[in-house]
Each structure stands twice: as C-alpha cells, then as structure tokens.
C-alpha cells in the first residue's frame, strides 16, 4: 500500500482527533504522536519508517515555520515584558539544566561524564512546538505564557551547541572552549541581526509586490521565511533564532496583505505541527521501551523535579517572579520534537548505533508530554493563572489590497460589562470614518444596521484606519461608568 496514501489518511485522522483532544484535555502533540505510533512499524505496521536521518532533515524544515509563527504571534508589548527572564532561561537555564542532569546521570548510571553531558544536553531545552500547542489549548495569563513561549523558541540553539560540543569531544576529542563561547555568541547575535534585516526586506517586498493574485503573497511569505533561515546558515549564525526574530519584527509591522498572510502562516504552522509529530510517532518502536523504561523514568524524574526547577529558580533570581510563578514556569518546561531530533545526532556520529540513547530520549519526551502536558492547564487553574479563552469566529472577513493602506479589517469582541451592550450602533457615536461590516452572533453572520442592538460576546468586523482602531475598541468595550454628580454649590 502506498506510503503517501497511508500518511495522507493519518493527517486527515489527526485533524479530526483535535475535537477529542479539546474535549478531554489531551495535548494535541501527544495525540499526533500516538497516531503515528499505533499505525507505525511496531504496532499495526501499516507504515514502516525507521530513517532517523531523514526525520532530522524534514524536522529541521518543519521547525522553521513553527518557530517563525511563534515570533510572528508575539506582540511587542508582551515580549518586552519578558525578554530578560525568557532569554536568561534560554541560555543560562539550559546550561544549568544540562549540568545538573548530567551530574545525576553520571553518578546514577556510572556513565562517562562526557556521554552523560551529551544525553543531558539533548534533553535540556524545552520545545517550542509543544509549548505553543499547549498554551493555545489552555489560555494562560500573558506574562507566564509569553515567558515560556519565548524561552522555548530561543533555547534550542544552546541545546544544539551543547550537544554538538559534547559529541565533538567524544568523537574527535578537541576544540577550544573559548571558540565554543565565541561561536555561541555569534549564533545568537548573528541570528538576531539576520532576523531584523530580513524582516525589513520583507516589509518592503510585500508593499511593492502589488499583485492581484493573493496566492503570490503566500508564496512570497514562504520564500522570505526560508531566506531568513538560509541567510543565517550562510553566515554560520543560528537559523532558528533568525526566523523567530524575523517573525517577531514582521508580525509587529504593518505591510500590504498582512491579514491574508497571517492566516496563511497559521495554516502552514498547523500543517508543520501535524506532520512533525506524526513523523516522530512513526519513527519510534515502543517495544524497545521494555529495555530502557527504568533509565528513562529516572531521567524524566530528575529532569522534572530537580534539574529544571534548579535552573528556573536560579535563572529568575534577578527578576520579579513569585515562587508560585517560578514553580509554574518550571512545570512548563515540556519536551518535544527538538529533543527527539537532537537524539538522532549521536546516531549520525556513530555514538548510538544500537539506538539506546534515542529510545531513552523519546521515552522521556513521552513522559513529559503526558505528565506535564496534560496537567499544565489544571495547574494554571489551581494557581489562578488561567486567562479567559478568547472568542472565536466561524467566519473570516479580510480586506485584500494591492497597495499599502492604513485602512484594514479588524475583529473586535464585545466583552463582559462593555459599554456597547444593549445599545444600538447608531447611539454609540463611533464616527463616520469607520464601518461595521458584519456581526457574528451565536455563530450566525448578521448584516448590521444603525438600529441593531449589540450583545455580550458579539464579534464585530470593523473597517477602520489602523490608528483609530484603539479608539473604536475603547468606545465599544470600556465599561459603562456612572456620571459624577454635580458638586454642591458653595455656601457663601
């Protein structure tokens, strides 16, 4: 039976299982991996797949789009609030996690120190794809969600560099530590610079494309994302950092065709997530877990309850996080695709020919997804860190233009206790330079008129100037306030 035919069916099945995932609170990434495991080589054997090197190559490409979307969807205000702690966790936190875990692996399993550090480095970073999927399923307060999201997007380079450093020491036994530090510094600085430059080039090209074919904007977006990664790779900087920051600056810029491009980026990111975790599930042979589950469980326990908490609490000392917030961030260190991809590196370097390291890492990732992934939402509720789930519209209304304009279509949600509730549109005084094009109520689209009365949880599509949309949102959503009484006249 055609492998392409089977894989297409698995992707379709994965999409429909998202309803089950939402209903029972199971992380989507775990659902996708389990589908791959069940239909893969070791269970139903409908799709035989054991090529770790091919997995690495494909995963590297898919991660580009996943991490670009992470930066693209991060607002400037949210990033500025957490840049210090998140980037500290992404660098110092990964180093501390690796060395604490490596110390325990070395002394518990009596492995050589360098080999212990290689294993610890592979699993030291948190996974952006896993974190994003879980925080989207379980809305968490902005500060905490952005902290673990930015950390997870930015900490892969450190894990990669540490892994490559210890593999290098194990294989060719050399290299200057000073050179490693310089290399790491350039990876970050070069990646950020490339991301900034390509984001500016992207805005210019979008504004000057002027194509009536909306698909051309989508093709341009793919090309620019790959250009960001490729440029960083060309100058030996870190491509993951480059595309994350390119996404961040591009997402916080105004350019022609932005709304349509944003919807396309979200779609291609979803595709990348499904394909990535399906492929990782197909790659694993669960029968191998019988030989390594004890070692994997011990490493997972030490990582979750010792190494990660130590790294988080030490890294966040200079920043204003409560103990409860630090504990939550520690529990949010979910492992995923990056660790599994890095676990293929020892195999490629002839350090794991029997696949034991790969199986241990995959087992730890599964434990992390099940234990931390399924409980993070519950923990946010217990700690009162849960944010309100945003309203979602079954409709999308876009304004496609071939020229740059400060007029765009905006989506505004009527919130609880909003001023506009139970008032007609005509009575709100919104002004003549904006138009409410449609209203979504109870999943039905209404054509608005001046006499229609707005209700809580209405979703409005508003055509307005970009500079004016905040004023419109305030007029609609600011709570109604009672007028202050006139002061009593002074008695003379």
CATH number for the domain spanning 212: value is: 1.20.1530.20
Same domain, 46 and 167: yes
Confirm whether 112 is domain-assigned.
yes
Report whether 93 contacts 321 (CB < 8 A). Answer: no
Q: How many residues does the chain have?
A: 492
Same domain, 126 and 243: yes
**What's the rounded Cα separation, in Å, for the pair 447 and 439?**
7
Selection from 206, 181, 191, 180 nearest residue 156 by Cα:
191
Same domain, 259 and 354: yes
Banded model confidence at residue 211, pLDDT cuts 50, 70, 90: confident
**What's the rounded Cα separation, in Å, for the pair 363 and 37?**
12
Once rounded to an integer, what is the mean pLDDT over residues 327-355?
86
Same domain, 165 and 291: yes
pLDDT given for residue 402 in this prediction: 66
Selection from 283, 299, 291 nearest residue 50 by Cα:
283
The CA dihedral of 360, 365, 371, 375, to the nearest 10 degrees, is 170
Confirm whether 402 is domain-assigned.
no
Same domain, 180 and 125: yes
In Å, how far are 153, 155, 179, 188, 249 from 161, measured between CA atoms? 15, 10, 12, 11, 25
For the chain, give me the number of helices (H) and strands (E)?
Answer: 22, 4
What is the span of the domain harbouring residue 36?
Answer: 3-382
Number of separate domains in the chain? 2
Residue 477 burial by Cβ neighbours in a 10 Å radius (0-12, 13-18, 19+) = middle
Same domain, 65 and 151: yes
Same domain, 373 and 421: no
Q: Is residue 490 over pLDDT 70?
A: no
Once rounded to an integer, what is the mean pLDDT over residues 101-128?
94
Once rounded to an integer, what is the mean pLDDT over residues 79-83?
84
Strands 435-441 and 459-465 come out as antiparallel
pTM (2 d.p.)? 0.76
Confirm whether 487 is domain-assigned.
no
Q: Is residue 220 over pLDDT 90?
A: yes
**What's the rounded Cα separation, in Å, for the pair 403 and 382?**
49
Same domain, 346 and 419: no
**What's the rounded Cα separation, in Å, for the pair 395 and 444?**
9
Report whether 142 contacts 385 (CB < 8 A). Answer: no
Report whether 139 contacts 388 (CB < 8 A). Answer: yes
Question: 453: which DSSP letter?
Answer: B
Once rounded to an integer, what is the mean pLDDT over residues 150-174?
82
Banded model confidence at residue 123, pLDDT cuts 50, 70, 90: very high
């Amino acid at each position: 039976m055609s492998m392409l035919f089977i894989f297409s069916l698995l992707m379709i099945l994965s999409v429909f299982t998202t309803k089950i995932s939402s209903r029972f609170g199971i992380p989507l990434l775990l659902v996708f991996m389990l589908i791959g495991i069940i239909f893969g080589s070791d269970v139903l054997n409908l799709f035989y797949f054991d090529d770790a090197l091919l997995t690495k190559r494909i995963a590297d490409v898919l991660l580009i789009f996943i991490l670009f979307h992470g930066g693209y969807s991060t607002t400037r205000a949210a990033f500025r609030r957490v840049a210090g702690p998140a980037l500290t966790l992404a660098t110092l936190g990964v180093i501390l996690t690796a060395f604490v875990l490596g110390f325990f692996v070395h002394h518990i399993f009596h492995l050589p120190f360098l080999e212990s550090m290689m294993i610890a480095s592979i699993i030291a970073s948190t996974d952006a794809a896993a974190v994003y999927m879980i925080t989207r399923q379980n809305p968490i307060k902005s500060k905490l969600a952005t902290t673990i999201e930015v950390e997870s997007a930015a900490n892969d380079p450190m894990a990669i560099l540490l892994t490559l450093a210890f593999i290098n020491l194990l294989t060719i036994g050399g290299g200057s530590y000073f050179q490693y530090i310089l290399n790491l510094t350039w990876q970050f600085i070069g990646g950020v610079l490339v991301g900034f430059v390509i984001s500016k080039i992207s805005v210019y090209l979008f504004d000057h494309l002027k194509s009536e074919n909306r698909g051309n904007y989508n093709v341009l977006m793919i090309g620019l994302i790959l250009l960001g990664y490729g440029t960083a790779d060309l100058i030996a900087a870190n491509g993951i950092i480059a595309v994350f920051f390119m996404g961040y600056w591009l997402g916080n810029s105004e350019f022609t065709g932005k709304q349509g491009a944003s919807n396309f980026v979200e779609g291609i990111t979803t595709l990348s997530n499904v394909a990535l975790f399906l492929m990782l599930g197909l790659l694993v042979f669960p029968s191998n877990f019988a030989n390594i589950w004890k070692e994997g469980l011990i490493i997972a326990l030490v990582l979750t309850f010792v190494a990660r908490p130590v790294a988080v609490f030490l890294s966040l000392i200079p920043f204003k996080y409560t103990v409860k917030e630090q504990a939550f961030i520690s529990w949010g260190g979910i492992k995923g695709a990056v660790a599994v991809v890095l676990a293929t590196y020892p195999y490629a370097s002839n350090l794991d020919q029997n696949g034991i390291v790969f199986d241990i890492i995959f087992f730890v990732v599964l434990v992390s997804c099940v234990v931390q992934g399924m409980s993070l939402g519950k923990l946010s509720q217990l700690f009162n860190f849960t944010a309100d789930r945003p309203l979602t519209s079954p409709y999308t209304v876009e304004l496609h233009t071939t020229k740059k304009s400060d007029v765009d279509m905006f989506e505004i949600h009527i919130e609880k206790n909003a001023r506009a509730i139970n008032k007609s549109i005509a009575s709100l005084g919104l002004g003549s330079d904006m138009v409410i094009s449609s209203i979504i109520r109870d999943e039905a689209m209404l054509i608005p008129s001046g006499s229609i009365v707005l209700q809580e949880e209405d979703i409005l599509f508003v055509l307005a100037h970009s500079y004016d949309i905040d004023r419109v949102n305030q007029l609609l959503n600011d709570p109604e306030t009672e007028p202050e009484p006139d002061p009593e006249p002074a008695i003379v």
